[in-house]
A and B are shown apart, each in its own frame.
Chain A
Amino acid sequence: MASPDDNSIARYRHWYSRLLRLYPHHFRARFAFAMGQTFADLCRERAGTGRGLIGLVMWMFVETSAGILKETTMSIVTHNKRLIVILLGIAFVLLLPAVAMRFTDAVTWTPFDFLVAGGLLLTAGLTFEFFARRGGSTAYRVFVGVAIATLLFVVWLELAVGIFGSPWAGT
């Protein structure tokens, strides 16, 4: 017959298994079962000393939650390296006029200008990411990148100085 400790450990292990579902899929598939076993082993060891389980269980839940946060962050970074580079690149480009405005009156961007420029760059970046994720050769990606950059340049010029005379043309 199972002891009260065995029942508690089984219940805690069940909750722990639920927590492990928060790990990225590839990590969970590799280690979730072994982690559940180790969790139960540590609980049994603690129960054998006659001390209460709740402190240990709480500690392992917190420690594993930190692990989940770490693995999830690493998974996002690993699988979205190009997207992160694109977003950092956009932030850098927008930083240039922001810094320039502090030193010269020749650059005067309003918050709306930053919003439009940010929107344009983000659209261009995400469009490139979309096509790049579909696979294809390096030549295909370069072609897509050049096409999007050219289109972005033309739209930017139209908004800035108005080369086509559209309703959105700048002066």
Chain B
Amino acid sequence: MASKKVSTPLTPAVLHILIALSTKERHGYGIMKQVETDSRGKVKMGPGTLYGSVGRMIDAGLIRESDKKIDPEMDDERRVYYKITAAGEKALAAELERYRDVVALAGHYG
């Protein structure tokens, strides 16, 4: 499938998912838990938001489906894992750089 253009700035959901996947591949529930931890419980994503964003991110080439495998910390159901791509890492780096610029600018006025 042809990659769709990534709209910038990234939506909060997309940014949080990219951050969650930047350290290791995760399944849907794992992404949700990591986002909750990263945001100290402030961002709580439901399945509708998560998989809607995941679908768009796969289409945009930011992440891809990895293997389907069993999570040893959970039950014996096989789960689809998602992995960040090089384009995803690039988009995340660019977004974090943008945030740094905004914070620096805010520091000027603060």
Residues of A within 8 A of B (CB): 27, 30-31, 34-35, 37-39, 41-42, 59-60, 63-68, 70-71
A139 to chain B, nearest CB (A): 24
Chain B minimum-CB-distance residue to A33: B80
CB <8 Å contact, B46 and A71: no
Contact mask for chain B residues 38-78; partner A; CB cutoff 8 A; 1 contact, 0 none = 00000000111111101100000000000000000010010
Q: Does B29 make an interface contact (CB < 8 A)?
A: yes
Residues of B within 8 A of A (CB): 27-29, 32, 46-52, 54-55, 74, 77, 79-80
CB <8 Å contact, B29 and A42: yes
Chain B minimum-CB-distance residue to A66: B48
Contact among A30, A67, A70, A71 with B47 in the assembled complex (CB-CB below 8 Å): A67
Contact among A31, A39, A42, A64 with B54 in the assembled complex (CB-CB below 8 Å): A31
Contact among B28, B32, B55 with A27 in the assembled complex (CB-CB below 8 Å): B55
Given the interface contacts A30-B55, A38-B28, A38-B29, does A68 sit within 8 Å of B48 by beta carbon?
yes
Contact among B27, B32, B51 with A67 in the assembled complex (CB-CB below 8 Å): B51
The tally of CB-CB contacts under 8 A between chains A and B is 57
CB <8 Å contact, A37 and B79: yes
CB <8 Å contact, A35 and B52: no
CB <8 Å contact, B49 and A35: no
Given the interface contacts A37-B77, A38-B28, does A59 sit within 8 Å of B48 by beta carbon?
no
30 A-B contacts (beta carbon < 8 Å): A31-B51, A31-B54, A34-B27, A34-B28, A34-B51, A34-B79, A34-B80, A35-B47, A35-B51, A37-B27, A37-B79, A38-B28, A38-B32, A38-B47, A38-B50, A41-B29, A42-B32, A59-B46, A60-B46, A60-B48, A63-B48, A63-B49, A64-B47, A64-B48, A66-B48, A67-B47, A67-B49, A67-B51, A67-B52, A71-B52
Which residues of chain B have C-beta atoms less than 8 A from A31's C-beta? 51, 54-55
Which residues of chain A have C-beta atoms less than 8 A from B49's C-beta? 63, 67
Given contacts A38-B28, A42-B32, A67-B49, 17 further A-B contacts (CB under 8 A): A27-B51, A31-B51, A34-B51, A35-B28, A35-B51, A37-B28, A37-B29, A37-B77, A38-B27, A38-B29, A38-B51, A42-B47, A60-B48, A64-B46, A67-B52, A70-B52, A71-B55
A147 to chain B, nearest CB (A): 32
